[in-house]
Structure 1
Amino acid sequence: MSILSPFLSRVIHRGRLTVIDPDGGAETFGAPAPGFPEVSVRFATRRAMRRVILDPRLGAGEAFMDGEMEIAEGDIMGLIGLLRMNTPWDRGAKLKDKTRLGQWGDWVKTRLGSINRQRQSRANVAHHYDIGNDLYRLFLDRDMQYSCAYWPREGMTLDEAQEAKKAHIAAKLALRPGQRILDIGCGWGGMAITLAKLEAVEILGITLSTEQLELARQRAEEAGVADRVRFELIDYRDLAARETGGFDRIVSVGMFEHVGAANFATFFRACANLLTADGVMLLHTIGRFGKPGATDAFTRKYIFPGGYIPALSETLAASEKSRLIATDIETLRLHYALTLRQWYANTLAHEAAIVAMMGARFFRMWCFYLAGATAAFESGGMGNYQIQFARSRHALPLTRDYMGEAEGRYVG
């Protein structure tokens, strides 16, 4: 019996996992079941097996990145999915890979690591987003939307789903000609450019990524909207100190996850101060179902340092301090899982190019990241929230009909 047996025999019941140790011995856990993956894992060293026992998520990630844990049958998506499917969040199951002391340690590390003062925020953004635009071109859609797409019907392509996401958000902004829009965390400019094409509005997009800034400006010029769309390298806190009440609308997509729990109230206070008296804001963010939690060690170390996925409760509690009214809340339950599977497939399809660009270890790390994220949205406690805020109860129509009408125009 290997050192992994007690852990895996407790977790794997449906689906089959075969573990091959460095000496060639094999041990199987679980049993075949419809819809559950069958995966075989080969360990090159016993050190790798110990790493998994000491910290299953970080240890498995690093062993896979270093080539000490190989997938002999199936793929890393299947392995992580199998573990998550056997411990689904919505059935109250837990992986139980940490003691209470370990869970408390993760909570403390998450809170301390996500304090995110201005200088640290820039460094954290650079860690993930300034690694080269060419990488993101390989696995994202044509518009380089690096956030959850929207899948209102089956059979959509990734490009179509991302276009649908932008139309869905634009409709919730209740845009009017002549409005001034702020895009916080504008990415490569796709949302800002799209809004400018949909309505005669002026937009300021802000980012902390130099790579994103350069490409966003170039894309606005190419799209012929640079006279109404501009981008700036600035922290939202610095912008709020510079301007007050100048924006009719604020949109923020996939940025709130980088704010950090310690700054939630600061973020919403800045947004409230940047909005006009009848201003409206649409926040699109990954969120955790249930109560607040912690960021796992692999994500903290390799993917999103300083990042934290908020619970809906703490998001709304922070917004209430600035007297923002939550006028509409939508929970996107499986949309990001569909998106991530497309990104994962695109990553595998461009393996040779990514390895040549970033190295084999990076490629394995990226696959582990996307596979882990997919499992979290399919079986774990993660989803997406779109929260519409207003400063005044009179800022929007009394019913939601205007959203559907506008979305129909934008999609058509």
Structure 2
Amino acid sequence: MRSLVARMLSRLAIEPRIDVVFPDGTLQTVGHGTVPRLRMRIVDTPTELRLALNPELALGEAVMDGRVVVEQGSLYDLLDALVAAVHKARPRGWGKTLAGLRTALRRFHQHNTPALAKRNVAHHYDLKSDFFRLFLDPDMQYSCAYFARPEMTLAEAQLAKKRHIMGKLDLAPGQRVLDIGCGWGGMALSIAGETGASVTGITLSEEQLAIARQRGAESGLPVEFRLQDYRHLTESFDRIVSVGMFEHVGVGYYRDYFRKVRELLTDDGVALIHTIGRSSPPGATNPFIAKYIFPGGYIPAMSEVAAAIEKEGLVITDVEVLRIHYAETLKAWRENFLARRKEAVAMYDERFARMWEFYLAASEASFRHDDLVVFQFQLAKKLDGLPVTRGYIEAREGELGREPAAAKVAGSA
């Protein structure tokens, strides 16, 4: 198996060089450069076999189980080098076959009925809220921040993200807003506190719901939080916002999702869908992420989202692609997590902490080097439902930034 793993690595234009120590004690250096900066050890022969046959899944599992150990450099350094090299190489042979099979089977793996959707959400989002507090900003925004200025802190960039979205929604006092996938309530509280709109937030996570309801009650703002699937809603809303939820819809349910968005919007209504996306053609979910982190999840290509929107009679009034912003967000989360890693181990265990570090590091590297971006789709029922130039977005953001109560609402815990 050593020859298979070595051959696989030697095909990649890895930079910097990596020393790979195999179970029999032999060492092979792969990559470019004069001095290896990284060193990884494969502990046992079965791990070699799994790495050769299914590296995308096996590497994460081996790190989790302590069967692949980074002895020089950091786990992020290793994954950053590997992801960058893999992105430059075209899949071929068995790797290409595996990718094709995963793409062909994706509808089966994303069969997100209401019952399955709730179970999948619970797998990730019903972890202890105190765990997420280890690495998120004080408002507990668990989605891509918006670094309008490079020097922004994570908290400032998350506030900027919310205001950027609020500017695109062109909100006004008295409007009814639906937040699909409201998380711990931060977006809903900011909208209500900064614009005077009333917000209904829905989630399938009981852990998140409890925190959101507590925050809502303490705020005194016009917000309501429910444990509810978007498919079961029947009311009308002036605005709909969804941040970081569309990745969990499932590729077979896109038309159902946008049909429901259209049904729920008033005639003058506007929706803003913020989702991770891929700049490449449709593909499949990384097997490690699908098995351990986000079961039932999928990152869509723009072509898949746009086709579903068009077929359900909504007007795409604006599209923005955020590049690198999520890499910087994940970097902040990863650094926060590592600074409080011992607390994560105490809450769960060492294997869980290794899994989470791998997830954050691999995701950051993917957003830096691979085809992952963030899409913001602004949708309406009518062509003239919004101003015809984009200047109003920046103007509305500026108005929100001058609201003295905004920072207080955004920073509430």
Return the TM-score normalized by structure 2: 0.94
Q: What is the CA–CA distance in structure 1 between the aligned matches of 2:207 and 2:138, rounded to whole Å? A: 17
Q: Residue 219 of structure 1 corresponds to which residue in structure 2?
A: 215
1:388 aligns with 2:378: yes
**1:219-272 deviations in whole A, cap 9, x for unaligned?**
1122221xx100000000011xx33xx100000000000000100000000000
**1:142-185 deviations in whole A, cap 9, x for unaligned?**
10000000001111111111011001000000001110000000
8 Å contact 1:329–1:386 — kept in the other structure? yes
Q: Residue 9 of structure 2 corresponds to which residue in structure 1?
A: 8
Against the structure 1 CA distance between its residues 64 and 72, is the aligned structure 2 distance closer, same or farther, given a 3 Å change threshold? same
Letter of the 1:48 partner, please give it. Answer: T
1:236 aligns with 2:230: yes
Secondary structure, counterpart of 2:271 in structure 1: strand
8 Å contact 1:145–1:162 — kept in the other structure? yes
Secondary structure, counterpart of 2:134 in structure 1: helix
Q: What is the CA–CA distance in structure 1 between the aligned matches of 2:286 and 2:219, rounded to whole Å? A: 40
1:56-205 → structure 2 map (5 Å cutoff)? 56-88=55-87, 93-94=89-90, 96=92, 98-205=94-201
Q: Residue 295 of structure 2 corresponds to which residue in structure 1?
A: 305
Q: What is the CA–CA distance in structure 2 between the aligned matches of 1:48 and 1:326, rounded to whole Å? A: 48
1:406 aligns with 2:405: no
Against the structure 1 CA distance between its residues 85 and 100, is the aligned structure 2 distance closer, same or farther, given a 3 Å change threshold? closer
Shift of 1:383: 0.2
Secondary structure, counterpart of 1:11 in structure 2: coil
Q: What is the CA–CA distance in structure 2 between the aligned matches of 1:299 and 1:13, rounded to whole Å? A: 23
Shift of 1:359: 0.5
Q: What is the CA–CA distance in structure 2 between the aligned matches of 1:290 and 1:54, rounded to whole Å? A: 25
Against the structure 1 CA distance between its residues 118 and 87, is the aligned structure 2 distance closer, same or farther, given a 3 Å change threshold? same
Secondary structure, counterpart of 2:288 in structure 1: helix
Q: What is the CA–CA distance in structure 2 between the aligned matches of 1:77 and 1:382, rounded to whole Å? A: 17
Against the structure 1 CA distance between its residues 136 and 86, is the aligned structure 2 distance closer, same or farther, given a 3 Å change threshold? same
Identity %: 48
Secondary structure, counterpart of 1:31 in structure 2: coil
Q: How much is the aligned-residue C-alpha RMSD, in angstroms? A: 1.5
8 Å contact 2:14–2:81 — kept in the other structure? no
**1:340-370 deviations in whole A, cap 9, x for unaligned?**
0111111111110001111011111111111
8 Å contact 1:19–1:40 — kept in the other structure? yes
Against the structure 1 CA distance between its residues 33 and 200, is the aligned structure 2 distance closer, same or farther, given a 3 Å change threshold? farther
Q: What is the CA–CA distance in structure 1 between the aligned matches of 2:34 and 2:333, rounded to whole Å? A: 27
Return the TM-score normalized by structure 1: 0.94
Q: What is the CA–CA distance in structure 2 between the aligned matches of 1:101 and 1:11, rounded to whole Å? A: 18
Letter of the 2:219 partner, please give it. Answer: A
Q: Residue 373 of structure 1 corresponds to which residue in structure 2?
A: 363
Secondary structure, counterpart of 1:295 in structure 2: coil
Secondary structure, counterpart of 2:11 in structure 1: helix
8 Å contact 2:315–2:380 — kept in the other structure? yes
Shift of 1:33: 7.9
8 Å contact 1:56–1:97 — kept in the other structure? no
Q: What is the CA–CA distance in structure 2 between the aligned matches of 1:13 and 1:132, rounded to whole Å? A: 38
8 Å contact 1:38–1:78 — kept in the other structure? no
8 Å contact 2:14–2:82 — kept in the other structure? no
Q: What is the CA–CA distance in structure 1 between the aligned matches of 2:159 and 2:91, rounded to whole Å? A: 36
Letter of the 2:227 partner, please give it. Answer: L
8 Å contact 2:327–2:365 — kept in the other structure? yes
Q: What is the CA–CA distance in structure 2 between the aligned matches of 1:390 and 1:13, rounded to whole Å? A: 46
8 Å contact 1:17–1:41 — kept in the other structure? yes
Letter of the 2:246 partner, please give it. Answer: F
Secondary structure, counterpart of 1:206 in structure 2: strand
**1:45-85 deviations in whole A, cap 9, x for unaligned?**
11112111111111111111011111101122111110122
Q: What is the CA–CA distance in structure 1 between the aligned matches of 2:267 and 2:400, rounded to whole Å? A: 27
Shifted more, 46-55 versus 22-31: the winner is 22-31
Q: Residue 51 of structure 1 corresponds to which residue in structure 2?
A: 50
Shift of 1:190: 0.2
Secondary structure, counterpart of 1:248 in structure 2: strand
8 Å contact 1:205–1:232 — kept in the other structure? yes
Aligned length: 401
